[in-house]
Structure formats: C-alpha cells, structure tokens
Structure 1
Amino acid sequence: MSKSGAAKRYAIALFELAKEHNQVAKFDQELRVIQQVLAENNQLYKALEAPGISLADKHAMINTLSAGASAMITNTLKLLVERRRTNEIAAVCDEFIKLSNEERGVADALVYSARPLTEEEQTNVSHTFARKVGKQTLNIESIVDSNLLGGLKVQIGNRIFDGTLRGKLDRLQKQLTTNL
C-alpha cells in the first residue's frame, strides 16, 4: 500500500466534504467497509488496475464496491481509478480514518487476550487506555491469542501496553538477571 502525498490530499479533500455535510462518522464507516472488502478481495484490485478492462467496466465495479455508500465516496473512488491511482484507494481510506479519529478524539486499538472479551470488559479497556493516550474513546478490535496465559496486551498506534502474564514473567526475569 502506498503512503504518498496524493493519498493524503485525496483523503483531506474527502474529509473536508464530509465535515461540510456533517457526515464524518458516516463516511468513516463506509470507508472502513470498502477497505475491508478490498483487503479480502485482492482480485478486485487487480481488475481495477488491469489495462485491458474498459473504464466503464471499472466504474461498474466501483459502483458495486461502493453500493450503499455516499455518492461523494463513489465519485472519489471513480476519480482515483480514472487517474490511474487505484493503488492509492486503501491509503486514502487509511488517511481519512486517521483524520476522522483525530477529529472525534478516537484511536484504534488491538487488544490481545486469552479469551474473548465481554462488552463490559471492552468498555472498561476503552475507558482506561483512552485516557492513557489522551483520547476520548477507543475503537477496539479484540484478538484472541491462545498463547497468552492471561492478562491483556493493548496496541494503540505504535504504543504497546503489555499486561500479560508472559510479559510480566519476562520483565521479572530480566530484572532478576540484571541484579545478579
């Protein structure tokens, strides 16, 4: 996935449109769905980039991909395809989501645990760790890791909070070996 300045410019333009129409949260949700569909279907990317497929067919694919999405999002995706920037679609989605999260005081978090977390536990994790990173709330993606003995590992951006038993044991071992 490319992280070019062009992706950021398209995302900023789309974000400004969303703010202008009070639809930031709606666009955020729609772009997350589009991003997920593209991540799960690599063949769609290849088809959108294929030089042998007509622009009309590519527009039809974009219409199918963005079915139910706002016209502004559909038009932005079509514009990216027309300008041969199909490889930027995921980056535009990423950049828009970052802008949206920043605007709303939200951060995305990966939470690793030995068992699935209940809604109440996710809410508690969100409240606790959101304050630690200066945000209002967290979008939590819960990941069950059977290798964990217990506890949680929370990743927010490039910060990792390791409260797992394995992490505590490793820190204790390191502390004991450095004191000898």
Structure 2
Amino acid sequence: MSSSVAANRYAVALFELAKEKGVLDTTRAELEAVKQIFQEDDQLNRVLYHPNVSPEKKQELLRTAFSSLSDIVVHTLLLLQEKKRLNAVVQTAEAFIDLVDEEQKRGYAVVTSVKPLTDNERALISEKFAQRAGKATLHIENIIDRDLIGGLRIRIGDTIYDGSVKSQLNRLEHQMISGKR
C-alpha cells in the first residue's frame, strides 16, 4: 500500500473520530503543528527513522515530544509509528486538514497585489470570491508583486482571476499586434 493511500485511510479514520468527539478544529490545529515539526525538525526525524533506535524508545520520544497534544493525536502518532508509517505523518495531517476544510466549506485564496491588502479589502475579497468558489469562508494569503502595476490576481485552487493592470496591458498589446480590436 502506498504512503498516500495509507495516509488517506488514517486521515479519514481520525476525521471520523474527531468529528464524533466534536474536536475537529482542535485536532486540525494540533495536526498543523505536528506537520510543521515533522517537516522542520531534522533531529527528531533522524531519531525516529534511525534503524538502531528501538520501537519502544521511538514511542517514548513521541509521547514526550507531543505530550501537550490531545490523546487522539498522540495515539494516532503512536499507531503510525507502530505500523511503521511515520513517513505518512505529513500526508496524514494534510489529508485530515483537507477533510476538515471541506466539511466546514473553508477555502484558501492567494491574492497577489501591488501593496498589502487592508483587513477590509481581505474581508471583501473573501466574501465575494467565497461564493464563486462554493465555500463559506475564504482565507486570504496576500503576496506583494510590484510588477502588477495595479489591480489583483486571485488564485483559488486551479482557478485564476486576473484583474491586474499588467495583464490587461498584455492583452491590449496582444490585440494590437494581432490587429484585433
């Protein structure tokens, strides 16, 4: 079984358990932290993946390192370690986060602008584009690109809404070169 298939199975099981217990948001936040730790802590990874470290020591390390997290998350990590699936922790966390976001109709947009967006601009963009994306809320990540000249470029998943001045000028240039009006 591939790592991603296993990760999805663990994520679905964890999602159902967290939903049943009413702790989706808490578990989501904890898994975001776990994901970040597994992606950034080379020392932890070296120990957890080292063949000469006993499974008992690995379990003890996981219990100690993640003692501040809920039992549901710690037990999931221990289960992944026991089943020799620690390589699927990040994918499991990502799959769980996706399931929670889908359940709560939460979406994400990357908005590229010339200057940082104000809170009001973020709220307005979120409100208008959440409807288009079929989401209840849309969290905005703002990227600054001075080359846009003005306007916005909004990416939600695979869809791009390009209302930048640079893009409009490029289209106008293309139309003029091709002789179209």
TM-score tier by shorter-chain length is 0.7 to 0.9
1:56-100 alpha-carbon deviations (Å, 9 max, x no partner): 332344335534321111111121122221121111111111110
Larger CA Rg, structure 1 vs 2:
2
Residues 3, 85 of structure 2: 8 Å contact kept: no
Distance 1:100 1:176 in 2: 48
Question: 1:100: which partner in 2?
Answer: 100
Question: 1:19: which partner in 2?
Answer: 19
Using a 3 Å threshold, how does the CA distance of structure 1 residues 34 and 176 change in structure 2: closer, same or farther? Answer: farther
Question: 1:143: which partner in 2?
Answer: 143
Question: 1:69: which partner in 2?
Answer: 69
Residues 45, 86 of structure 1: 8 Å contact kept: no
Question: 1:5: which partner in 2?
Answer: 5
Residue identity matched to 2:52: G
Using a 3 Å threshold, how does the CA distance of structure 1 residues 58 and 165 change in structure 2: closer, same or farther? Answer: farther
Question: 2:173: which partner in 1?
Answer: 173
2:162 aligned with 1:162: yes
Q: Which moved more, 1:39-48 or 1:118-127?
A: 39-48
The count of aligned residue pairs is: 179
Question: 1:78: which partner in 2?
Answer: 78
Distance 2:33 2:101 in 1: 16
Distance 1:149 1:65 in 2: 47
Residues 154, 162 of structure 2: 8 Å contact kept: yes
TM-score for the superposition, normalised by structure 2: 0.85
How big is the alpha-carbon RMSD for the aligned residues of Structure 1 and Structure 2? 2.2
What is the DSSP-based 3-state SS (H/G/I as helix, E as strand, rest coil) of the residue aligned with 2:140? strand
Residue 161 of structure 1, CA deviation = 1.9
Using a 3 Å threshold, how does the CA distance of structure 1 residues 107 and 61 change in structure 2: closer, same or farther? Answer: farther
Distance 1:116 1:47 in 2: 42
Residues 34, 65 of structure 1: 8 Å contact kept: no
Residues 7, 89 of structure 1: 8 Å contact kept: yes
2:87 aligned with 1:87: yes
Residues 110, 140 of structure 1: 8 Å contact kept: yes
In the alignment, structure 2 segments of 5+ residues that lack a partner are none
In the alignment, structure 1 segments of 5+ residues that lack a partner are none
Residue 43 of structure 1, CA deviation = 4.2
Question: 1:122: which partner in 2?
Answer: 122
Residue identity matched to 2:81: V
Residue identity matched to 2:154: V
TM-score for the superposition, normalised by structure 1: 0.86
Percent identity, please.
39
Residue 129 of structure 1, CA deviation = 1.1
Distance 2:128 2:160 in 1: 14
Residue identity matched to 2:131: R
Using a 3 Å threshold, how does the CA distance of structure 1 residues 65 and 157 change in structure 2: closer, same or farther? Answer: farther
